[in-house]
Amino acid sequence: MLIIRPIRSSDFEALYQIAEESGHGFTSLPVNEDLLRKKIARVEASFQKQVDKPFDEGYLMVLEDTDTGEVVGTCGLEAAVGMEDAFYHYRLGTEVYYSEQIDVRNEVETLTLCHDYTGAAELCTLFLRSSYRKNNNGRMLSRSRFLFLAQHAQRFGETVIAEMRGESDENGNSPFYDWLQKHFLGIDFVEADYLSGLGQKAFMAEMMPKNAVYVCLLPEEAQKVIGEVHANTRPALNLLQAEGFRCRGYVDIFDGGPTVECNLSDIRSVRESRLLTVNIGNAPESDTNFIISNTQLANYRATSGMLLLTEGSNEVTISPELAAGLLLEQGDEIRILAL
């Protein structure tokens, strides 16, 4: 059985391996032992914390194959970004120039450094090992976060965002970043991305252009990739767009990838998820697959499985094996979402 659960300190080696496998552009998991241990400790504290208002909590979960005990994936949520460290984006805008004298009107696209998403919740750290990218495992891992958001909405910002990885080559070089490196930062993309993942962002405030950047003055290669996603990220973007996420004109400051957003209560899977009461017994056969989670916090568990729902009933029968995997007892509630 594949079970999603909160990460714990004993998962460090698996998380470090995932950080190595994830490659360039996966900013939320830099290959740094000290930072990854601190990340796990922060997550453990967040799952135990009493929260009246979201601040800087992080909820990183792992996908465990219970048959082998192996951690094969991760998915994460940030409660409210930018509360401790600055959270930068470029906002796409337009400046209009008009001269009545010469009868010329021009609209010029601009990029302006901003912190507009401060306080928003974030979907992050989605990774699945290649050998498990089948049988809707990736979809289950990604969408399980919406069940957690639905159940614990008070712990998150009202707006939920996701940063999509932008265009870069196999060596991690970004066409969008090249002009920034040449004229402003002076360090390569991989190093800048790594420092950002470590939370060492002072260089951004010190070295990034303070005024709006005119897109037309960028190299053509850089202009072409603004708002474009990496080929490997396209399926994730399609999934989020189906949930109601849209790009509102914000892009990543390093690779130009789009950031998409949706109000938490408007996310399709949040709206469509249901709470049911559990009856543990011989589960009837069904051909409908659901993502299923318990309603706990520190002992959160989620998986996928076949359920037979009776119209008009708020009860569902599940097998003892599924109940054990989700830490459920007779009469507990589960949250479900059609997979």
Please report where in the chains the tokens 């009868």 appear, as a residue: 103
Q: Which of 19, 58, 20, 26 is nearest to 40 (CA)?
A: 58
> What tens digit of pLDDT does each residue of 127-157 get?
999 899 999 999 999 999 999 999 999 999 9
Task: Name all contacts of 39-42 with Cβ < 8 Å and 24+ positions apart.
Answer: 39/15, 40/7, 40/8, 40/9, 40/11, 40/12, 40/15, 41/9
- 0.85 surpassed by pTM: yes
The pLDDT value recorded for residue 165 is: 87
Q: What percent of the chain has pLDDT over 90?
A: 72
Work out the mean pLDDT of the chain and round it to a whole number. Answer: 91
Concatenate the DSSP letters of all residues of 124-150 into one string.
EEEEE-GGG--TTHHHHHHHHHHHHHH
Specify burial of residue 302 (Cβ count, 10 A radius: 0-12, 13-18, 19+). Answer: buried
The pLDDT value recorded for residue 24 is: 58
Which pLDDT band holds residue 197 (cuts at 50, 70, 90)?
A: low
What are the tokens at 125?
A: 């750290």
Check if the beta carbon of residue 222 is closer than 8 Å to that of residue 175.
Answer: yes
Among all residues, which ones are annotated catalytic?
A: 230
Instruction: Set out the domains of the chain in order of their start, with CATH numbers.
Output: 84-118+166-272 (no CATH), 274-338 (2.40.40.20)
Check if the beta carbon of residue 186 is closer than 8 Å to that of residue 84.
Answer: no
CA distance 162 to 151: 19
> What tens digit of pLDDT does each residue of 223-245 get?
999 999 988 889 889 999 999 99
- State mean pLDDT over 64-87: 94
Beta strands in 243-300 (DSSP E): 246-251, 258-263, 274-280, 289-294
What are the tokens at 152?
A: 């614990």
The pLDDT value recorded for residue 149 is: 98
> What tens digit of pLDDT does each residue of 4-43 get?
999 999 999 999 999 988 865 566 788 889 989 999 999 9
Q: Hey, how many other C-beta atoms are within 10 angstroms of the C-beta on 125?
A: 25
